[in-house]
Amino acid sequence: MPTSFQLPEAFLWGASTAAHQIEGMNVNSDFWAFEHSGLLPERFREMSGDACDSYHRWREDMDLLAELGFTDYRFSIEWARIEPAPGEFSNAEIAHYRRMVAGAIERGLRPMLTLHHFTVPRWFDEQGGWESEDAVELFGRFVEAAAPIFASNVDHICTINEPNMVARFAAIRKAVLAGNVWEEVGTDKYDEAATVALINAHRRAVGVIRRLTPHIKVGWSVAIANHHAVDGGELKAAEIASAARDVFVLAADGDDWIGVQAYTRVFVGPDGQLPVPEGAQKTLTGWEYYPPALGESIRSVARLVPRTPIIVTENGIAESDDAVRVAYTSGALAGMRDALAAGIDIRGYYHWSALDNYEWGSFVPTFGLIAVDRKTFVRTPKPSAAWLGAAGQSRAIELISDDLMSESVV
């Protein structure tokens, strides 16, 4: 039987997107260049292309979210559009994102802005990316130039999305350019120089935001993989967690909030991460279907930075069967409910993703609450969107009993 629980007062309730994954034709970005480089054809089965054409259709996207009942929308601004050449800032693009912020407010959606969601300008990447000597200074300059976008009508900013994944991709990319195969790069490899730069860039951005717009609550979001040790893998699991999670979570100590992004768990043996167990239920990304990941992630982060409020900035599932999406999300939200009941300071929940979009190499993994036709760009909300959106107005979540855990969802 369904059970319900009330959302706390002023709880953020929305969905998330990322510019490169939905806007389309982000031609000045490093990721566009990497997609078309031919380096990883097995990884980049499709190019981002027009994506969801949300650069032009953002009004329709916001209309749908507001009509469905959501009260919040997390979206990113694209550095590669705003600063297409070093020191050359586009007033037109700044005005574009200012219109998006105003449009969200007009529709009753509180905007959370992400300043960096995986992509950087091509020129920044070509001069060394996060390993260049002036990376931190350049990011701070971008944040200051972008300030007119968030000077008003924005209460929350995420500086950098999943810096641990940015550091991991830096290590993978370096290895691939050196002639190694993607799959042969260890799952515990994180570029040390990029890690230091990202933490310092975050701190620089926090300083800029607090100086220019002190009313804004600022933080960053971290991908939280739950490392389950098996067969004597406790020490290795702790080692991987330290590099993959803890250093980035601890960097948020003292911030206004930290974003938790959780999807699944991973098993770790004495020699490292293990594949998903044979026979386990999987999603379209090949991850294990594991709704408790969210509750476990929240508790892990709360233990590391107990003074920092938590916002769930991403949680979702790549799945073609929307009933499975509802079941998974209901199980995840039950974990969030229990964490709230335990006294953990959780301020909001954003589902990933608002739209079926470009998942960094393919459109096949469908995370969206709203389907998007690849040719016509027609948007079609799924039942999961109506179910989750209803909580935005009622402030109550109706949890659905998960009867699908024993069924294959491959």
Q: Catalytic amino acids?
A: 162
Task: Evaluate the CA torsion angle 49, 51, 53, 55 in order and state its sign.
Answer: negative
Residue 81 tokens read as 């559009």
Q: Measure the CA–CA gap between 89 and 43, rounded to whole angstroms.
A: 32
Q: Measure the CA–CA gap between 75 and 67, rounded to whole angstroms.
A: 18
Residue-wise over 264-273: b if at least 16 C-beta within 10 A, else e? bbbbbeeeeb
φ and ψ of 121, to 5 deg: -60, 150
Q: Measure the CA–CA gap between 134 and 148, rounded to whole angstroms.
A: 23
Q: Measure the CA–CA gap between 42 and 48, rounded to whole angstroms.
A: 15
Residue 184 burial class via C-beta count within 10 angstroms: exposed 0-12, middle 13-18, buried 19 and up: exposed
Contact 218, 256 (CB under 8 A): yes
Task: Evaluate the CA torsion angle 275, 325, 298, 161 in order and state its sign.
Answer: positive
Residue 315 tokens read as 């949680």
Distances (CA, A) of 218 to 71, 98, 248, 294, 306: 19, 18, 15, 22, 17
**CA-based nearest residue to 29, from 358, 258, 284, 365:** 358
Look at the chain and count its residues.
Answer: 410
Contact 13, 392 (CB under 8 A): yes
Q: Measure the CA–CA gap between 387 and 142, rounded to whole angstroms.
A: 38
Q: Angle formed by the axes of helices 293-304 and 322-341, to 10°? A: 30
